[in-house]
């Protein structure tokens, strides 16, 4: 359907595309910042009443979240995090103190406490925590709604088929809006690592974030076009552009249908080479949709997500529950459970890690785990309990740089296993422990690591950053971040060759595995499995099923002999075009 708004001039905005897809529709602005609650001080005699209003707000707010959770289906874990946040003493006691000591009215007390917590997140200076502010704001709003009878929920009046335009959206909003048939999300702020972005991808709703100046130009009812892959947003589109987007949307739908037809077919090359295609998941809820899209298992569970959004370290029971949910959801398919990879860009208030000058080179991954042994022990105990109930799990260690680190964690695994046995609890029959190859040091001691590890999983997101000295989150050097740099390809080839010579399987779980244009390279390098976000599974399989493994090997032989990434890119482009895969 072409969508034109002739009255106003066309306005094109650019943000960051975080969930692909083309959407056309009418804007619905959700702007919470316009909502105001009366602020006033209360008399000493009214403090008791205001504290009771807070109690009511908590009880009604809790009910609202529980109801939302019941409707959230497989995404209910995020609402669970909101419920935990609602009970956090920082929030509960903070609001009570604002009433009792500052004598603020209940609404003002809630707003002031939410602002204080948001300021603390800001002070941590970390992108992840900045993004968590929208979660606290969401919880605060449920409380404020409970206080003010008759104030509509900001997202409740959104029409089916609208494109939601907002300053920021919380994951709770994303869930509520997806149930209302919203066509796309566009926000002014946010980051690609936010839960909202992750959810938009998981829910297949095109989304663009960091679209500056959006609310200055957009009003409810305006015609809008969204390209969630390229991060483009067009307000009041011209007839020409509308027609172009309509063609793109039709093309996208046809392609998705074509790819979906292959979901049940094996990931096998025309000359019979099977490559295991796996999903990367951050929360257990992602497992069902991944299997539905053809995932043969989970190649990477980023367990550190359980530590985010909270101020206390998860218990062994929480780890057990999350891991068991993944193992059970896979119904016998394999799952690789990574111990927490916190530090660098993923900080958890619960870990109280130090502020570092150079966090990517600091206390990260297994280094942090060995420095905070109790947290790691608790996680291992939870994983072992889940693996005792389900035999399809294996453990993966992030950021390994030495044999000693692997041995140290293996010793903890053995001790935790012995403790479970001593307490009469079941223990897993086998506990395969693998290592991530993400550091150049790990690449060059791959032979020694094969002696102490059962399998390898290569994390190219970090391996590229550490090989090329390019911060993976720094937009100033993003153009230099290059998976096809010959240094990267030679390192990858070395790791795969060593692993296979020593009888170890080796998978790839960085974003490189998710890029269909790079699939011939991953295939030719000889990886046994490729693990990626669910949304990429079908496109990668499409290429695999059309590219011979022996051609891919010859292609990689040529590529590693080249001296520049640009030349390698040309070779790859020609090889894809020759097989009709030019638009992959
Ligand atoms: C990687 O580094 O490639 C990887 C998969 O780990 P993460 O992206 O979680 O650092
Ligand atoms: Mg990594």
Q: If you ran DSSP here, which 8-state letter would residue 547 be given?
A: S
List the shell of residues around ion ligand 2, using CB closer than 5 Å: 438, 459, 462
Q: How far is the CA of 99 from the centre of ligand 2 (A)?
A: 45
Please state, in angstroms and as integers, the Cα–Cα distance from residue 556 to each residue in 89, 210, 275, 279, 447, following that order.
56, 37, 17, 25, 22
CB of 142 closer than 8 Å to CB of 67: no
Sequential DSSP letters for 427-453: --S---EEEEE-SHHHHHTHHHHHHH-
Q: How far is the CA of 400 from the centre of ligand 1 (A)?
A: 12
Tell me the pLDDT tens digit for each residue of 69-103.
777 766 777 888 888 889 888 899 999 999 999 88
Mean pLDDT of 148-165: 67
Residues 6 or more apart in contact with residue 398 via CB below 8 angstroms: 338, 339, 340, 341, 365, 366, 436, 438, 459
Please work out whether the CB of residue 341 comes within 6 Å of at least one atom of ligand 1.
yes
Catalytic residue IDs: 195, 509
Please work out whether the CB of residue 304 comes within 6 Å of at least one atom of ligand 1.
no
Q: Which of 484, 272, 489 is CA-nearest to residue 497?
A: 489
Residue 2 pLDDT greater than 50, yes or no:
no
**Alpha-carbon distance 548 to 574, whole Å?**
15
How many Cβ atoms are within 10 Å of 87's Cβ, its own excluded? 11
CA of 511, closest atom in ligand 1: 3
Confidence of residue 150 (pLDDT cuts 50, 70, 90): very low
Q: Which of 472, 430, 435, 473 is CA-nearest to residue 452?
A: 435
CA of 438, closest atom in ligand 1: 2
Residues 6 or more apart in contact with residue 169 via CB below 8 angstroms: 30, 134, 177, 185, 187, 190, 196
Residues 6 or more apart in contact with residue 123 via CB below 8 angstroms: none
Q: How far is the CA of 491 from the centre of ligand 1 (A)?
A: 16
Tell me the pLDDT tens digit for each residue of 354-372.
778 888 999 999 999 999 9
Tell me the pLDDT tens digit for each residue of 488-503.
999 999 999 999 999 9
Residue identifier of the C-alpha nearest atom 6 of ligand 1: 459
Quote the percentage of the chain above a pLDDT of 70: 91
Confidence of residue 149 (pLDDT cuts 50, 70, 90): very low
Q: If you ran DSSP here, which 8-state letter would residue 474 be given?
A: -
Please work out whether the CB of residue 460 comes within 6 Å of at least one atom of ligand 1.
yes
- Considering every ligand atom, which ligand is closest to the CA of 281? 1
Q: How far is the CA of 473 from the centre of ligand 2 (A)?
A: 12
Q: Model's pTM, two decimal places?
A: 0.72
Mutate to test the pocket of ligand 1, among 509, 512, 513, 530 (most ligand atoms within 8 A of CB): 509
CA of 344, closest atom in ligand 1: 10
Which tokens is 345 given? 């860009």
pLDDT for 151: 37
- Cα-Cα end-to-end distance for the chain: 26
Residue identifier of the C-alpha nearest atom 8 of ligand 1: 461
Q: Which of 107, 103, 111, 95 is CA-nearest to residue 47?
A: 103
Q: How far is the CA of 324 from the centre of ligand 1 (A)?
A: 22
- Considering every ligand atom, which ligand is closest to the CA of 346? 1
The structure tokens 């804007």 sit at 27
Q: How far is the CA of 580 from the centre of ligand 2 (A)?
A: 33
Please work out whether the CB of residue 215 comes within 6 Å of at least one atom of ligand 1.
no
């Amino acid at each position: 359907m072409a969508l034109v708004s002739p009255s106003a001039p066309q306005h094109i905005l650019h943000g960051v595309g975080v969930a692909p897809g083309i959407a056309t529709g009418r804007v619905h602005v959700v702007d919470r910042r316009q909502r105001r609650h009366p602020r006033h001080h209360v008399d000493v005699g009214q403090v008791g009443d205001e504290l009771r209003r807070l109690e009511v707000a908590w009880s009604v707010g809790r009910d609202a979240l529980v109801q939302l959770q019941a409707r959230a289906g497989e995404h209910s874990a995020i609402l669970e995090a909101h419920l935990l946040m609602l009970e956090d003493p920082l929030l509960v006691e903070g609001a009570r103190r604002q009433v009792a000591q500052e004598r603020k009215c209940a609404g003002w007390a809630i707003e002031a406490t939410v602002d204080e917590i948001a300021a603390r997140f800001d002070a941590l200076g970390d992108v992840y925590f900045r993004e968590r502010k929208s979660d606290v704001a969401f919880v605060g709003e449920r409380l404020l709604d409970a206080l003010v009878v008759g104030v509509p929920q900001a997202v409740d009046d959104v029409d089916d088929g609208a494109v939601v335009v907002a300053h920021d959206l919380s994951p709770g909003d994303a869930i509520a809006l997806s149930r209302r048939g919203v066509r796309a999300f566009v926000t002014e702020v946010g980051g690609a690592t936010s839960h909202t972005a992750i959810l938009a991808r998981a829910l297949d709703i095109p989304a663009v974030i960091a679209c500056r100046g959006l609310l200055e130009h957009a009003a409810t009812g305006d015609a809008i076009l969204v390209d969630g892959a390229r991060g483009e947003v067009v307000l009041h589109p011209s007839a020409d552009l509308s027609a172009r987007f309509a063609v793109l949307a039709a093309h996208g739908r046809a392609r998705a249908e074509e790819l979906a037809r292959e979901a049940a077919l094996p990931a096998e090359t025309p000359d019979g080479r099977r490559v295991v295609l796996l999903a990367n998941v951050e929360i257990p809820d992602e497992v069902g949709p991944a299997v539905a899209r053809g995932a043969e298992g989970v190649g990477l569970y980023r367990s550190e997500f359980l530590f985010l959004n909270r101020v206390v370290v998860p218990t062994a029971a929480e780890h057990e529950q999350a891991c068991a949910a993944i193992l059970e959801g896979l119904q016998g398919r394999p799952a690789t459970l990574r111990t927490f990879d916190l530090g660098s860009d993923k900080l958890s208030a619960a870990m109280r890690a130090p502020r570092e000058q150079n966090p990517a080179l600091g206390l990260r991954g297994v280094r942090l785990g060995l420095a905070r042994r109790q947290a790691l022990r608790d996680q291992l105990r939870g994983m072992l309990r889940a693996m005792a109930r389900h035999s399809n799990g294996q453990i993966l260690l992030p950021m390994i740089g030495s044999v000693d680190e692997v041995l140290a964690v293996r010793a903890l695994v053995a001790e935790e296993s012995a403790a479970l046995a001593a307490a009469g609890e079941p223990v897993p029959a086998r506990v395969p422990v693998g290592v991530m190859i993400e550091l150049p040091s790990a690449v060059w001691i791959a032979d020694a690591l094969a002696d102490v590890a059962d399998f390898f999983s290569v994390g190219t997101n970090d391996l590229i950053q550490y090989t090329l000295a390019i911060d993976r989150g720094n937009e100033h050097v993003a153009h230099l971040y290059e998976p096809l740099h010959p240094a990267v390809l030679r390192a990858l080839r070395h790791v795969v060759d060593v692993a296979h010579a020593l009888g170890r399987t080796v998978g790839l779980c960085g974003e490189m595995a998710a890029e269909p244009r790079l699939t011939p390279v991953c295939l030719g390098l000889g990886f046994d499995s490729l693990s990626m976000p669910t949304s990429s599974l079908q496109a990668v399989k499409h290429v695999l099923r059309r590219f011979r493994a022996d051609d891919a090997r010859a292609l990689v032989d040529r590529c590693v002999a080249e001296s520049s990434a640009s030349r390698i890119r040309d070779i790859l482009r020609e090889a894809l075009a020759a097989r009709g895969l030019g638009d992959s």
